[in-house]
Amino acid sequence: MNVIHFFRGALWVSLFLLATAPIAQTAPQYGTWGFDLTAMDPSVKPGEDFNRYASGAWLDRTEIPADKPIASLRYLMSDTIEARLHDLMEAAAKSPPATLEGKVGAFYKAFMDEDRLQRIGKAAIAVEIKTIKRAPDRAVLTELMGRSTTDFYGSIYSLNTEVDLKDIGHYAVYIGQAGLGLPDRDYYLRPSFASQKKAYQAYVAQLLSLLGWKDADACAAAVVQFETRIAEVSWTKAEQRDLDKVYNPYPTAALNGLTPGFAWNAFLRGAEITTVGRVIIAEQSAFPKITAIYQATPLSALKAWQAFTVTDNAAFYMSEPFSAARFQFRNRILSGQPAEPVRWKRAIHAVSGGDCGATGDHLDCFGNMGFAVGQLYTGKFFPPEAKAKIEALVVNVKAAMRARLERLDWMTPATRAQALDKLDTYQIKVGYPEHPRDFSGLKIREEDLLGDVRLAAEWDWQFQIGRLQSPVDRSAWSMTPQTNDAYNGTLRDIVFPAGILQPPLFDPAADPAINYGGIGAVIGHELSHGFDDEGRKLDAKGELRDWWTAQDAAEFTLRATKLAAQYSAYEPVPGTHINGELTLGENIADLGGLNVALDAYHRSQLGHSAPVLDGFTGDQRVFLGWAQAWRGKAREDYVRKQVVSDPHSPRAFRVIGPTRNIDEWYAAFGVKRGDAYYLDPEQRVRIW
């Protein structure tokens, strides 16, 4: 839906009625009006810990499943998606092989054929390993790194295509730092992660031993030393959030001057992009240092690193010794997850793509056949009438965002006018893409799982580089329809896939206040991303440009810094603090989204008083809807990994952090000075 202008008057009212009118459904999924009252702990004052007040009883009675690092209502949403995908793929496995269903089914059957994978063993990646062993020099290894776009090879530099932020009518090739097998540079450099780093070296040695690699232990030490040196010169994730600093266009002919000695022609040849005349370098100052490390590392160590990386990337799809080793390290040690998911769940991730370790609470589906699966998913589980209802609710929330921008007291008129222009250009995409991708040319065989992964990766990469010669398609999606998430993209688009549009975020039978606190706040969250510390650097055309007055930029920075300091003081597990700089964009969006949702709910009342349900006012129910949306608990190892590698705050502080900065929360729950999370009015952060 391309929303350019806001609807007012009678049309706005009709859209509100469409968004909030009940549809045929027996009852809300949670409680009698959309909120589970049995989850609460009323012995806790809201101002002492709003997360426990809203969810304490649930937290106490809920055990984290052995095959997951988290228990949450969002995870239950992913469980629903998985169950639906299981049914779809079981049915697809019986379809004619040339059809879309048949291809999905063949991929699924290939993963489920565990006996065949056991017989194949390490031979599944024999071609890659043989190619690595025979490489005579770094130039050949560099070309293999370019092939990381279509095969299991690793690379010290990442490649992807995206809209050119200073030429928004075209796509560009972006190249960034890479090369680390641990979740973040901090795992190599912080003493607090010493045990994980030691376990990682043992894991490297284990995979090399399974390959029959000579001197596996010594080679593993060399691999970890190589990656540690890269970590030492890599940018932090917080530094990578500065769009001005990560946009560095280079003619490809000039790359050798940036990193002398690196065979860029071979790298680009491996990636099949030899005709590209210009690329965009991200962490510019790190590139010469990473290349120097690559040049100084013995060829034998580089071969061992590449052999391990291929095996690590492929292990999820391989026989039990490899897949079990991968799970033991990447899921059990890094995330504290005791048990591996059953095979059919792993098969779903294999076909749909995404995080094959399933360690987060999203079902992220990129690559492989994710968009093909999405066509089957939405055809059965997301009818057009559901799409219409969400689109109407989006318009209401967007109108509230406009009203907040119009009355913002700290922004000058010149910047405000451009902010409103930018808001008007946003496309809201709901459910599924208007134009499905064509998979007719993709060949899938049920007897060759790793071959299917390679073919799907090649198909996806050809799609990516094929668009380099075409104008930007503003209708395109970069997230599949079955994904339990949402995003604000470089196309000035906000995308809400079908997978996220289910309780507790959106329940058409629930009280509207709960939906505003759930999906309404998520919609507001994504809108706010267009104006967070990164998004504010893109103008109404989507171009990277400073369109703020110096006064406004300074005031925004002051307020954002204040919010970052708040979050940096939070300690989700003992001895581990949130990184307020890394999580700043998401925290700004949470605060803005909840403010916008509350305003949108007030607008929806059309001047009438909200009803009181079970003693809870409308405002209270909006805040409870937000708390319910983020209800969950995580293993401590997972949280420790999250705070160094994830721009999202741990869920308890996604509940606590925004609410304590909103005046209406204090009034709704009677929060007083002396309560643990009370903030004086002048200390509350007000941005959007």
Evaluate whether 9-62+383-431+503-683 and 137-298+311-316 have a shared fold.
no
Report angle CA 601, 606, 607 to the nearest 5 degrees.
Answer: 105
Cα–Cα nearest to 377, from 389, 369, 368, 385: 369
Q: Cα(first)–Cα(last) distance of the chain, in Å?
A: 24
Residue 211, C-beta contacts closer than 8 angstroms, at least 6 positions apart: 122, 129, 307, 311
Alpha-carbon distance of 355 to 630, in angstroms, equals: 21
Q: What is the pLDDT of residue 392?
A: 74
Distance of CA 408 to the CA centre of its chain: 30
Distance between CA atoms of residues 633 and 187, nearest Å: 23
Residue 371 has phi, psi (to 5 degrees) of -75, -30
The CATH number of 9-62+383-431+503-683, from 3.40.390.10, 3.40.50.1970, 3.40.190.10, 3.90.1150.10, is 3.40.390.10
- pTM confidence score: 0.89
**Separation CA 205–CA 230 (nearest Å):** 19
Pair 664, 602: CB distance under 8 Å? no
pLDDT in tens, 366-410: 348 999 999 999 999 987 777 777 777 788 899 999 999 999 999
**pLDDT grade for 488, boundaries at 50, 70 and 90:** confident
Please answer whether residues 510 and 34 qualify as being in contact, where contact means their C-beta atoms are separated by less than 8 angstroms.
yes
DSSP 371-395: HHHHHHHHHHH--HHHHHHHHHHHH
Task: Note the pLDDT of residue 621.
Answer: 98
Q: Which helix (H) or strand (E) holds 496?
A: strand 493-497
User: 293 near 233, Cβ under 8 Å?
Assistant: yes
At 25 the pLDDT is 53
Angle at 24 between CA 23 and CA 30, to 5 degrees: 85
Q: Parallel, antiparallel, or unpaired: how do β-strands 167-177 and 248-251 relate?
A: unpaired
Q: Token pair for residue 287?
A: 């590139």
Amino acid 599: pLDDT? 95
Sequence spans of domains, the chain: 9-62+383-431+503-683, 137-298+311-316
Q: What is the pLDDT of residues 410-419, one digit of tens each?
A: 999 999 999 9
> How is residue 62 written in tokens?
């809920």
Q: Give the span between the Cα atoms of 95 and 84, in whole angstroms.
A: 17
Residue 642 has pLDDT above 80, yes or no: yes
Residue appearing with tokens 């919010």? 563
Tens-digit pLDDT profile for residues 495-507: 999 999 999 999 9
Q: Where are the alpha helices (DSSP H) in 412-468?
A: 413-425, 449-466
What would the mean pLDDT of 476-503 be, rounded to a whole number? 91
d(CA 178, CA 159): 9
DSSP E strands, 68-115:
70-72
Task: Round to whole Å and give the CA distance between 577 and 559.
Answer: 20
Q: Does CATH place domain 137-298+311-316 in 1.10.645.10?
A: no
Place of tokens 């560009």: 172
Could you give the CA distance from residue 182 to residue 197 in angstroms, rounded to a whole number?
8
Q: What is the pLDDT of residues 331-361, one digit of tens each?
A: 999 999 999 999 999 999 999 975 433 333 3
Of 574, 575, 594, 591, which is closest to residue 583 (Cα–Cα)?
591
Average pLDDT, the chain: 92
Contacts of 108 (CB under 8 A, 6+ apart): 89, 90, 92, 93, 347, 348, 350, 351
